[in-house]
């Protein structure tokens, strides 16, 4: 099923003209809008064209074809590198789209955006994220193969495909690429090929300003297959040498591959080539005219594309269909030989869950205190037993996060000495690489056909934030298991105690944060996350306790089913008409429950509302929200072991907030809660304050 070139390399004048057309389009598109990055798109044009025309297994008429290779442009600033190939290949972009580059509403925004432009596999721009996404895609491809066709010889399964990535100096300077590349080498991801555009130029000039290590030696140390391609005497890409290197990289299936390709940015612009200005600025009319003369184009014309060039480039559609037909034959043979696996494949492709899966979700008995991280771990194992596409792990904190879905199945390559090692294992060992974990999870989700989660301490979500933001931006179905969610983790002290993190994460549009109050809320939260992944796209973070918390008696308190709505009445006022409402989340809900008992004993009708998720609550209609928080009840008190930001919208102008506005300390969590005023007594006092203030206003 390979579409790699034969040993007799062919490169025609028309191929050369098509590449030069891509260079002209890059110059003209940036010049027209007045900003952008023309230089790299010019120098990368031969490589991108070669990959799309000769190596990438794809069908431009069906960008979502499950058997396709994946292409990732990690330096998203050179988006024209990708857009011109999508235009040439027939993905639906046309010349007018290139003319509308960076214009509002166009299909060619400044950086490629997944879900916005057909053929764009991931949103790139923040450097290093793309290569980490590619690592995740390669991991997902291997796990998918294990789900559906584990016995097939290497290279003979319809689920074998290659992840192609172009990376830049900037990508390799960002620490995320080191984390992800180390992981890829450790995992021996032989289905990953990275082409490193070694152009020696960044915004501040020659990369000698900040970047001087031998990249290939570094990647060799990671366990990658390394090659180098030098330019031709005139400075242009040696396409034949590059084709040989790409073919060798594809043939190397026991480890990931990287090819360092020396390029001259903005080649062949007479004055702009090899300059920092060419990286991020329009070349100017005079330089563009001079470059067009060098390339044999009319300097008076803009966006010049001959019918012959387009006809030639779009022959890739025919080649793609032929590759797909060949793949389809193998796929149909697999279906016939594996009817049960084929049925599983169809279910997963359709976004459906196994029949009766909800029965596996555990229910926890009242009367026993259970940490929500422990309840999460038990729920995860129960779900794993019935949802084979669910997999994931932790950033070396599985013993604390309780994220091991299967102790006898670790996602590790052949040759790994661990007893549980399997190339198709379910438990991912991300290592101490939170940032890479977040970004590879994005790649796994983008690849499709699996459901992924990853765990670490909530305080270390800071390391993951760029990846989390991109997951929200792309609306990816990834799940974060963030444990040790407050000062309740105790003696590890302020470096490990998240104080501002819940508010900070709640501030990310599209990310749902869920902080369950007890074991049953945790189980319902997991069930809801799994259900939502096909109906409410977007990432979800579970914030879970280290310390034990009470498991509420649901015959006394309301059902934990309310968790799915983000907030619900856990305990109603004794007379059904509350004077004050106490709101809590996570481990602090128990404080609200204790405070209610005291207030009710004083004759103050008190309602307790559990608020596991601000975001899920905001999704509910106004009638439901008002039923939980009646506008007429203005005496409200919230309690959470974190900063107050975000609670004012729920408690209102007259409400009171019990919060923590400073860092924690190293001590037993019970001591800390008492010392910092996170107590039922404090909640009671604030309830009285709210009621008195309202009385004063109403006099």
Statement to judge: residues 421 and 539 lie in one domain: yes
Please give the span between the terminal C-alpha atoms of the chain, in angstroms, as a whole number.
Answer: 82
434 is catalytic: yes
Instruction: Provide CB contacts within 8 A for 54, sequence distance 6+.
Output: 3, 4, 5, 243, 246
Instruction: Provide CB contacts within 8 A for 18, sequence distance 6+.
Output: 49, 88, 309, 312, 313
Q: What token pair was written down for 399?
A: 């013993």
Statement to judge: residues 538 and 580 lie in one domain: no
Task: Please enumerate, by residue number, every residue annotated as part of a binding site.
Answer: 37, 77, 125-127, 169-170, 199, 201, 279, 373, 400, 460, 484, 492, 496, 546
Statement to judge: residues 500 and 595 lie in one domain: no
Task: Identify the bridge partners of residue 478 per DSSP, sorted by sequence position.
Answer: 452
Statement to judge: residues 643 and 536 lie in one domain: no
CA 238/CA 241 separation, integer angstroms:
5
CATH number of the domain that residue 237 is part of: 3.40.50.970
Statement to judge: residues 370 and 305 lie in one domain: no
Nearest by Cα to 258 from 155, 165, 128: 165
Task: Please enumerate, by residue number, every residue annotated as part of a binding site for thiamine diphosphate.
Answer: 77, 125-127, 170, 199, 279, 460
pLDDT of 5 reads 46
Count other Cβ atoms within 10 Å, centred on residue 466: 17
**Which stretches of the chain drop beneath a pLDDT of 70?**
1-7
- Phi, psi at 612, each rounded to 5°: -65, -30
Over its C-alpha atoms, the chain yields an Rg (Å, rounded) of: 28
Query: Domain end: 550, 575, 594, which one?
Result: 550
Are 539 and 480 in contact by the 8 Å Cβ rule? The answer is yes
Statement to judge: residues 533 and 604 lie in one domain: no
pLDDT of 7 reads 61
CATH number of the domain that residue 662 is part of: 3.40.50.920
Statement to judge: residues 544 and 578 lie in one domain: no
Catalytic residue among 434, 588, 615, 640: 434
CA 521/CA 312 separation, integer angstroms:
59
CA atoms within 13 Å, Cβ hemisphere of 489: 24
Statement to judge: residues 87 and 176 lie in one domain: yes
Query: Domain end: 550, 581, 599, which one?
Result: 550
351 domain residue, yes or no: no
pLDDT of 544 reads 98
pLDDT tens digits, one per residue of 246-281: 999 999 999 999 999 999 999 999 999 999 999 999
332 domain residue, yes or no: no
Statement to judge: residues 300 and 373 lie in one domain: no
Count other Cβ atoms within 10 Å, centred on residue 663: 12
580 domain residue, yes or no: yes
Statement to judge: residues 518 and 595 lie in one domain: no
Task: Please enumerate, by residue number, every residue annotated as part of a binding site for Mg(2+).
Answer: 169, 199, 201
- Its pTM stands at 0.97
pLDDT tens digits, one per residue of 109-132: 999 999 999 999 999 999 999 999
- The torsion defined by the Cα of 356, 361, 367 and 370, in degrees rounded to 10, comes to 170
Nearest by Cα to 614 from 532, 509, 520: 509
Statement to judge: residues 469 and 587 lie in one domain: no
In the chain, how many domains are there? 3
336 domain residue, yes or no: no
Statement to judge: residues 517 and 483 lie in one domain: yes
Domain interval for residue 450: 357-550
Query: Domain end: 294, 321, 348, which one?
Result: 321
């Amino acid at each position: 099923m390979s579409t790699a070139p034969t040993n007799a390399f062919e490169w025609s004048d028309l191929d050369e003209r098509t590449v030069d057309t891509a260079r002209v389009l890059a110059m003209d598109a940036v010049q027209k809008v007045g900003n952008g990055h023309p230089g790299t798109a010019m120098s990368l044009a031969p490589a991108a064209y070669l990959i799309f025309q000769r190596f990438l297994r794809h069908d431009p008429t069906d960008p979502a074809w499950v058997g396709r290779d994946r292409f990732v442009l990690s330096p998203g600033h050179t988006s024209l590198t990708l857009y011109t190939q999508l235009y040439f290949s027939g993905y639906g972009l046309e010349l007018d789209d290139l003319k509308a580059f960076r214009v509002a509403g166009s299909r060619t925004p400044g950086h490629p955006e997944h879900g916005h432009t057909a053929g764009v596999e991931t949103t790139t721009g923040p450097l290093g994220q793309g290569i980490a996404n590619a690592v995740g895609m390669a991991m997902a491809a291997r796990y998918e193969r294990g789900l559906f066709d584990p016995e097939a010889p290497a290279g003979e399964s319809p689920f074998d495909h290659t992840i192609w990535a172009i990376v830049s100096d900037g990508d390799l300077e960002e620490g995320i690429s080191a984390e992800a590349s180390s992981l890829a080498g450790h995992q021996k991801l032989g289905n990953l090929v990275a082409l490193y555009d070694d152009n020696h130029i960044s915004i501040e000039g020659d990369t000698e300003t900040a970047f001087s290590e031998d990249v290939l030696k570094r990647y060799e140390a990671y366990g990658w297959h390394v090659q180098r391609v030098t330019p031709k005497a005139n400075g242009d890409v040696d396409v034949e040498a590059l084709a040989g290197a790409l073919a060798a990289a594809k043939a190397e299936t026991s480890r990931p591959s990287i090819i360092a390709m020396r390029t001259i940015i903005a080649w062949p612009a007479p004055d702009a080539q090899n300059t920092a200005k060419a990286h991020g600025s329009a070349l100017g009319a005079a330089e563009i005219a001079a470059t067009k003369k060098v390339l044999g184009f009319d300097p008076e014309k803009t966006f010049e594309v001959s019918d012959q060039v387009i006809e030639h480039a779009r022959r890739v559609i025919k080649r793609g269909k032929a590759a797909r037909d060949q793949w389809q034959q193998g796929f149909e043979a697999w279906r016939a030989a594996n009817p049960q696996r084929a049925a599983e494949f169809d279910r997963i492709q359709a976004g459906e869950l196994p029949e009766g899966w909800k029965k596996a979700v555990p229910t926890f008995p009242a009367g026993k205190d259970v940490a929500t991280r422990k309840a999460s771990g038990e729920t995860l194992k129960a779900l794993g037993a019935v949802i084979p596409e669910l997999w994931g792990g932790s950033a070396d904190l599985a013993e604390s996060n309780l994220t091991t879905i299967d102790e006898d199945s670790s996602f590790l390559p052949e040759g790994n000495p661990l007893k549980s090692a399997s190339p198709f294992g379910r438990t991912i060992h991300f290592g101490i690489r939170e940032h890479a974990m977040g970004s590879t999870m994005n790649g796994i989700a983008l690849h499709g056909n699996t459901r992924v989660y990853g765990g670490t301490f909530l305080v270390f979500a800071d390391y993951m934030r760029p990846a989390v933001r991109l997951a929200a931006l792309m609306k990816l179905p990834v799940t974060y298991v963030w444990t040790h969610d407050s000062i309740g983790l105790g003696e590890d002290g302020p470096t490990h105690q998240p104080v501002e993190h819940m508010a900070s994460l709640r501030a990310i549009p599209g990310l749902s944060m869920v902080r369950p109050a007890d074991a049953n809320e945790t189980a319902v939260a997991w069930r809801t996350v799994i259900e939502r992944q096909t109906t409410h796209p977007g990432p979800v973070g579970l914030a879970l306790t280290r310390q034990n918390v009470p498991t509420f008696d649901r015959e006394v308190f309301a059902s934990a089913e309310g968790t799915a709505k983000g907030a619900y009445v856990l305990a109603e006022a004794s007379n059904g008409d509350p004077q004050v409402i106490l709101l809590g989340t996570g481990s602090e809900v128990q404080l609200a429950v204790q405070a209610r008992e005291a207030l009710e004993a004083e004759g103050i009708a008190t309602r307790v509302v559990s608020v596991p998720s601000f975001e899920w609550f905001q999704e509910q209609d106004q009638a439901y929200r008002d039923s939980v928080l009646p506008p007429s009840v203005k005496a409200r008190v919230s309690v959470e072991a974190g900063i107050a930001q975000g609670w004012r919208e729920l408690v209102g102008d007259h409400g009171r907030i019990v919060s923590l506005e400073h860092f924690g300390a190293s001590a037993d969590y019970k001591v800390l809660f008492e010392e910092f005023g996170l107590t039922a007594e404090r909640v009671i006092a604030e309830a009285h304050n709210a009621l008195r203030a309202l009385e004063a206003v109403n006099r």
